[in-house]
């Protein structure tokens, strides 16, 4: 999908959230000098194309008691990785699931699944659940816990299409 | 943005209605003129009560934001997860050099021989390799690139 200047202004205006007012799209439209119907149509088009994944609230996992997370990594048979990734990604405790290239010999893992839980024991139990899902298609796994956030700036929208 | 609350809320901070709101609004939200009125109807809440509850949840730090989630790649731009094995005695020096690049978005220390994991975010795909190469030159350490090959639909939700 090609985003035009109005789409990009709309993204910039709503990236931090929608106004919590009865007619939020009208309010955004007023900010941008558009009309409400256009804002709604543009958001709907972006949602259809996957530029917007969802319009939703973001729970604060720490505040809600889900303070443990680990990046589990798996060496999965290449022929079955796609099929099994679909199953792992759909688990309700996995927040990201990707296939990535291995970096042999240092790094034999090709599937990454971020696991969340209320404590490390729970995360480890969920890791065993994933191991059961993968069965004999998996030839080794590991889990990496984050010990420090070294930088967190978030992603900025590129200024232009360039 | 102000710092995110990292401590758990007290047990009694959320009532059943708050929990129902959090459970219900993680998936979709109407694109209509009065979306809170519409979303409130399914929850048995008036428009104004849903709005004031959401404001309160945000003030408490139970939710971090409410609105559209954009796919960073679909908006244009390239992203790549990277990892380095940094010897402990060089960690701070290497960290300073890595973080000095504005393209380094997130950076985490993790429990592994590959102990520094960061995401590079650039406008164009070819810039990823250039920044990674610059970091290798500056630090003398290998930067492993783990680009996304396939991403799976995510079923993750908090169920309270």
CATH of the domain at A106: 3.30.70.920
Q: How many domains does chain B have?
A: 2
> Among A82, A3, A39, which Cα is nearest to B71's?
A3
Q: Which residue of B has its CA nearest to A2?
A: B75
What would the pLDDT profile of A72-109 be if each residue is shown by its tens digit?
A: 999 999 999 999 999 999 998 998 899 999 999 889 99
Token duo for residue B9:
């809320």
Contacts of A30 in chain B (CB under 8 A): none
d(Cα A66, Cα A114) in Å, to the nearest integer?
13
B90/B141 same-domain check: yes
Residue that has been written with the tokens 């789409």 in this structure:
A7
Residue B155 lies in a domain: no
Same domain? A44 vs A108: no
ipTM topping 0.85 = no
Q: Which A residues in the span 31-60 are in contact with B, Cβ-Cβ below 8 Å? A: 36, 40, 43-44, 46-47, 49-60
Does residue B72 sit within a domain? no
Q: How far apart (Å, rounded) are the C-alpha atoms in residues B79 and B120?
A: 5
Report yes or no: A80 and B99 within 8 Å, Cβ to Cβ: no
Is A90 part of a structural domain of the chain?
Answer: yes
For residues A81 and A44, membership in a common domain is answered with no
A49 vs A47: CA distance, rounded Å: 5
- Based on the structure, what is the number of domains in chain A? 2
Q: Domain check: are A140 and A73 in the same one?
A: yes
Say if residue A140 is in the same domain as residue A84. Answer: yes
Domain encompassing residue A32 = 5-48
CA of B63: which chain A residue's CA is closest? A59
What token pair was written down for B30?
């109407």
Separation between Cα atoms, residue B125 and residue A162, nearest integer Å: 13
Domain assignment present for residue B97? The answer is yes
Residue among A44, A99, A150 whose CB faces B107 most closely: A150
Residues 4-23 on A with a CB inside 8 Å of B are 11, 14-18, 20-23
| Same-domain check for residues A75 and A41 | no
Contacts of residue A80, defined as CB under 8 A and 6 or more positions apart, other chains included, come to A137
pLDDT score, position A158: 45
- pLDDT category at A50 given cuts 50, 70, 90 is confident
Q: Cα–Cα distance between B99 and A151 in angstroms, integer?
A: 7
Which of B35, B66, B160 is nearest residue A64 as measured by Cβ atoms? B160
How far the first Cα of chain B sits from its last, in Å, is 26
Residue whose token pair is 């390239």: B78
Residues 69-88 of A with CB under 8 A from B: 71, 81-82, 85-86, 88
pLDDT at B39: 97
Contact A100, B149 (CB under 8 A): yes
Q: How far apart are CA B62 and CA A12, in angstroms?
A: 24
Both A31 and A97 in one domain: the answer is: no
* Structural domain boundaries, residue B19: 12-60
Give the total residue count for chain B: 160
3-state class (DSSP) for residue A38: helix
In this structure, the answer to whether residues A127 and A98 fall within a common structural domain is yes
Tell me: do B83 and B56 sit in the same domain: no
Q: Which of A20, A62, A98 sits opposite B150 (nearest CB)?
A: A98
Cβ(A76)–Cβ(A111) below 8 Å: yes
Is residue A157 domain-resident?
Answer: no
User: Is the residue at B151 inside a domain?
Assistant: no
pLDDT at site B89? 97
- Residue A161 domain-assigned (yes or no): no
pLDDT score for B75: 74
Taking an 8 Å cut-off on Cβ atoms, the answer to whether A95 and B36 are in contact is no
A152 and chain B in contact, CB less than 8 A: yes
Q: B116: which chain A residues are within 8 Å (Cβ-Cβ)?
A: 150
Q: Are the CB atoms for B69 and B63 separated by under 8 Å?
A: no
Do B56 and B83 lie in a common domain? Answer: no
Distance from CA of B135 to the nearest CA of A (A): 16
Each residue's pLDDT tens digit, A108-160: 999 999 999 989 999 999 999 999 999 999 999 999 998 888 887 655 554 44
| Same domain (yes/no): A41, A72 | no
Verify that A138 and A72 share a domain, yes or no.
yes
pLDDT exceeds cutoff 70 at B1: no
Same domain? B48 vs B103 = no
Q: What is the pLDDT of residue B3?
A: 64
Which has the higher per-residue pLDDT, A160 or B23? B23
Q: Is residue A78 part of a domain?
A: yes
Asked whether residue A11 is domain-assigned, the answer is yes
């Amino acid at each position: 999908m090609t985003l035009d200047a109005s789409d990009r202004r709309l993204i910039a205006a709503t990236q931090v959230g929608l106004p919590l007012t009865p007619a939020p799209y009208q309010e955004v439209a007023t900010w941008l000098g558009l009309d409400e119907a256009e804002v709604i149509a543009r958001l709907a088009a972006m949602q259809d194309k996957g530029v917007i994944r969802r319009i939703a609230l973001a729970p604060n996992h720490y505040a809600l008691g889900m303070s443990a997370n680990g990046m589990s990594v798996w060496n999965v048979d290449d022929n079955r990785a796609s099929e099994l990734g679909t199953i792992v990604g759909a688990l309700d405790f996995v927040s990201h699931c990707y296939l990535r290239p291995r970096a042999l010999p240092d790094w034999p893992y090709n599937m990454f699944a971020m696991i969340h839980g209320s404590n490390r024991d729970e995360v480890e139990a969920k890791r065993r659940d994933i191991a059961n899902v993968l069965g004999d298609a998996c030839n080794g796994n590991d889990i990496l816990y984050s010990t420090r956030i070294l930088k967190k700036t978030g992603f900025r929208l590129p200024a232009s299409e360039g | 943005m102000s710092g995110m609350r990292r401590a758990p809320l007290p047990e009694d901070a959320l009532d059943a209605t708050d929990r129902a709101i959090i459970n219900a609004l993680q998936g979709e939200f109407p694109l209509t003129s009065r979306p809170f009125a519409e979303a409130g109807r399914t929850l048995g809440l008036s428009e104004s009560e849903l709005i004031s509850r959401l404001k309160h949840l945000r003030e408490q730090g139970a939710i971090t934001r409410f609105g559209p989630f954009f796919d960073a790649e679909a908006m244009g731009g390239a992203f790549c997860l990277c990892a380095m094995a940094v010897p402990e005695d060089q960690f701070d020096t290497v960290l300073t050099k890595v973080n000095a690049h504005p393209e380094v978005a997130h950076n985490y220390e993790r429990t592994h021989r590959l102990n520094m994991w960061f995401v590079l975010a650039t406008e164009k795909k070819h810039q990823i390799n250039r920044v990674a190469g610059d970091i290798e030159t500056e630090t003398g350490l290998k930067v492993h690139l783990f680009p996304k090959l396939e991403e799976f639909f995510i079923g993750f939700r908090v169920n309270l």
